[in-house]
């Protein structure tokens, strides 16, 4: 691994490991339902993609982080109503599950999207990169995940 990649990984890991900000700066995340509809659709597609990829692992709990904060409670409640064991990122305890994070939308058109994000499972491993999505038959589908930083 090149020194540059190591430093990027160390920085990303340090940022990802912070579960909360200082108490006086902590605000509730914007409700998921208040986000633009297309943003909701691509975020949902990425979270569902990651959950389905990890469903066969020994991990069965998913901790969600969206745009630098815990995933909104209305999104958590929606997934829990479907029987998924999802929680806000801030409630993560190492070894309990996998953290899925979406940092931002990099680009978005009517048929293609690219999102920055990744996953981590404690101190064991993490990957950060770009999700490439395409819209097929009215649904956003993750076509690929390109890992840019891996530990």
CA terminus-to-terminus distance, the chain:
10
97: which DSSP letter?
Answer: -
45, part of any domain: yes
Per-residue confidence (pLDDT) for residue 61, from 0 to 100: 95
97, part of any domain: yes
Per-residue confidence (pLDDT) for residue 28, from 0 to 100: 67
61, part of any domain: yes
User: Are 46 and 116 contacting, i.e. CB atoms less than 8 angstroms apart?
Assistant: no
Q: Which domain holds residue 115?
A: 3-17+37-150
127, part of any domain: yes
29, part of any domain: no
| CATH number of 47's domain | 3.10.450
The HSE-up count of residue 66 (CA atoms within 13 Å, CB side) is 25
Buried b (16+ CB within 10 A) or exposed e, 59-72: eebbbbbbbebbbb
Query: Could you give the number of structural domains in the chain?
Result: 1
Per-residue confidence (pLDDT) for residue 7, from 0 to 100: 36
134, part of any domain: yes
Q: What is the pLDDT along the chain (151 residues), one digit of tens a residue?
A: 443 443 344 444 434 444 333 444 456 678 999 999 999 999 999 999 999 999 999 888 999 999 999 999 999 999 999 999 999 999 998 888 999 999 999 999 999 999 999 999 877 899 999 999 999 999 999 999 999 999 8
25, part of any domain: no
pTM: 0.81
Distance, in Å, from the CA atom of 117 to the CA atom of 130, rounded to the nearest integer, reads: 6
Instruction: Return the structure tokens found at 6.
Output: 């190591």
């Amino acid at each position: 691994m090149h020194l540059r990649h190591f430093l990027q990984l160390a920085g990303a890991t340090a940022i990802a490991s912070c579960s909360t900000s200082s108490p006086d700066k902590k605000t509730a995340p914007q409700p998921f339902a208040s986000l633009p509809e297309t943003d909701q659709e691509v975020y949902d597609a990425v979270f569902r993609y990651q959950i389905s990829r990890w469903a066969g692992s020994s991990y069965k709990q998913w901790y969600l982080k969206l745009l630098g904060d815990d995933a909104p409670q209305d999104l958590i409640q929606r997934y829990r109503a479907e029987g998924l064991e999802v929680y806000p990122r801030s409630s993560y305890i190492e070894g309990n599950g996998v953290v899925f994070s979406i940092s931002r939308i990099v680009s978005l058109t009517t048929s293609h999207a690219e999102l920055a994000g990744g996953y981590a499972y404690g101190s064991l491993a993490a990957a950060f990169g770009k999700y490439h999505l395409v819209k097929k038959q009215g649904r956003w589908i993750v076509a690929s995940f390109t890992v840019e930083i891996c530990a």
